[in-house]
Amino acid sequence: MESPAPSSGASGSAAPVSAPAALSAWSRLGTALEEFWIALFAWVPTPLGLALRLLAWRWLFAACGSARFGTGLTLAGCRNMRLGNGVRLGRGCFVTAGGGSLVLGDNVAVSPCAHLGADGGRIEIGAHTAIGPGTVIRAANHRFERQDLPIMRQGHQPGEVFIEDDVWIGANCVITPDVRIGRGAVVGAGAVVTRNVAPFSIVAGVPAKEIGRRG
């Protein structure tokens, strides 16, 4: 009885790893190292902690000026973020840009526990903008067209959020994808912004509507 013909690679040499697989492995390793490095300094208190975080983290970003990082931050995809001078990320903020891009202009102030999610999309926030605590800004939405597949498995629809200079966004607001908030606008606390906001206007409510003008 003849023995079966040897399969390719039977000489004992391992099959070569494909380039996409190797890149994926390096990407996962890079993500793990980034997460470890951020966690290492995330909870150091006092001004010493502020100084350590800036020194230790600034090289993770595509660009980073004289930023101020509060304690307990969650950061992911830093290589896709650009932070200007004087940027402040408050305690407990959740800021991600995996597969997307995030730009914070000079002197942007993000209050504690805000969520900036640029994963798979794009968020740009202009200079001297203030974002209230608990606010959520997301550049992508879940797809939900199919009824035969759980929403969690349908992926995301990428989008963009542009917030121009000198905007004030109150506490616990939600800014949905594909929205532009014009220069000098004010968004009242708890508002859900689903469409563009004109410059120097004041909006509030769910969904947000114009209730006044500045000046």
Which residues of the chain register pLDDT less than 70?
1-27
How confident is the model at residue 7, as a pLDDT?
A: 46
How confident is the model at residue 10, as a pLDDT?
A: 46
How confident is the model at residue 156, as a pLDDT?
A: 86
CA quadruple 123, 129, 130, 132: dihedral sign: negative
Give the pair of three-digit tokens for residue 35: 């997460």
Residue 5: count of CB within 10 angstroms of its CB: 7
Tens of pLDDT along 37-51? Answer: 999 999 999 999 999
How confident is the model at residue 42, as a pLDDT?
A: 94
How confident is the model at residue 31, as a pLDDT?
A: 82
Query: What domains appear along the chain, each with residue ranges and CATH number?
Result: 19-213 (2.160.10.10)
Q: Which residues pair with 102 in a beta bridge?
A: 81, 123
How confident is the model at residue 32, as a pLDDT?
A: 87
Query: According to DSSP H, which parts of 3-91 are helical?
Result: 19-41, 46-57
Write the DSSP assignment of 123-146 as a string of letters.
EEE-TT-EE-TT-EEESEEE----
Catalytic residue list: 142
